């Protein structure tokens, strides 16, 4: 399907944009930095590339990867596990940054949406695993669960996209209200285009899944 190539391209575009933003404009990524902003920068990179990009590719595996049904299922569940792991790691980076900078945890709408997303994602993964892989449900149970797996999977994925939109908006608003850059400066466009690339990635991934 034509959406697969579009998803690959938009995923790479979102990845490049978030890297340019974090590395060229925000000073780079460093888990152990004294400058805690470099600890923070790990967060958007892992959420956009590790979580959303990988999960987008995982969703489309059944349409993009050749091979047997069981092989593609294995790739789908493995990639979703990678996305979950990198997503959790990315959230840990946000908490580490908050704790080491003495900033409150879990006060913002973004943090609530983000935490809700990753919890639902973990539940969805476990439910998918026990139903479709091991131990695996009876054939007719699988058949009736599958539409829910697809619907809820898309719903949680859309929630991840919305979380990323609020995250980018929040970071840009912090930086602009503290006069780090202006409303129409290059960095504002790089950051907002990162969010728009993630949004379009989401649109085409959902289109690819349902069509």
| CA 4 to centroid of chain Cα atoms | 18
- Given ligand HEM, ligand ASC, a copy of itself, none, residue 143, with its beta carbon under 5 to 8 Å by kind, binds ligand ASC
- 56 to 75: interface string for ligand ASC, x by CB under 6 A: -------------x---x--
168 binds a copy of itself (CB under 8 A): yes
Task: Give the C-alpha distances (Å, rounded to integers) separating 172 from 16, 26, 119, 130, 183.
Answer: 18, 11, 26, 40, 9
113 binds a copy of itself (CB under 8 A): yes
Q: Are the C-beta atoms of residues 47 and 56 closer than 8 Å to each other?
A: no
Closer residue to ligand ASC (CB): 74 or 85: 74
Residue carrying the six token digits 């993964």: 125
Binding track over 152-171 against ligand HEM, x by CB under 6 A: -xx-xx--x--xx--xx-xx
d(CA 29, CA 39): 6
Q: How many residues bind a copy of itself (CB under 8 A)?
A: 32
Cβ atoms within 10 Å, residue 3: 20
Question: Site residues (CB under 6 A) for ligand ASC?
Answer: 69, 73, 132, 142-143, 146
């Amino acid at each position: 399907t034509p959406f697969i190539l579009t998803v690959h391209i938009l995923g790479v575009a979102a990845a490049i944009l978030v890297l340019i933003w974090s590395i060229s404009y925000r000073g780079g990524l460093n888990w152990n930095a004294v400058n805690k902003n470099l600890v923070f920068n790990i967060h958007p990179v892992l959420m956009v590339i590790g979580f959303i990009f990988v999960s987008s590719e995982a969703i489309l595996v059944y349409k993009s990867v050749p091979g047997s049904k069981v092989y593609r299922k294995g790739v789908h569940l493995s990639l979703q596990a990678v996305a979950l792991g990198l997503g959790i790691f990315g959230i840990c980076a946000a908490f580490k940054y908050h704790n080491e900078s003495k900033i409150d945890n879990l006060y913002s709408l973004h943090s609530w949406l983000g935490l809700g997303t990753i919890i639902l994602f973990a539940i969805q993964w476990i439910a998918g695993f026990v139903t479709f892989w091991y131990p695996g449900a009876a054939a007719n149970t699988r058949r009736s669960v599958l539409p829910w797996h697809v619907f809820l999977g898309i719903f949680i994925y859309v929630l991840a996209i919305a979380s990323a939109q609020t995250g980018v908006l929040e970071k840009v608003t912090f930086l602009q209200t503290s006069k780090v850059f202006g409303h129409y400066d290059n960095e504002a466009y790089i950051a907002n285009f990162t969010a728009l690339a993630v949004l379009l990635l989401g649109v085409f991934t959902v289109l690819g899944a349902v069509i």
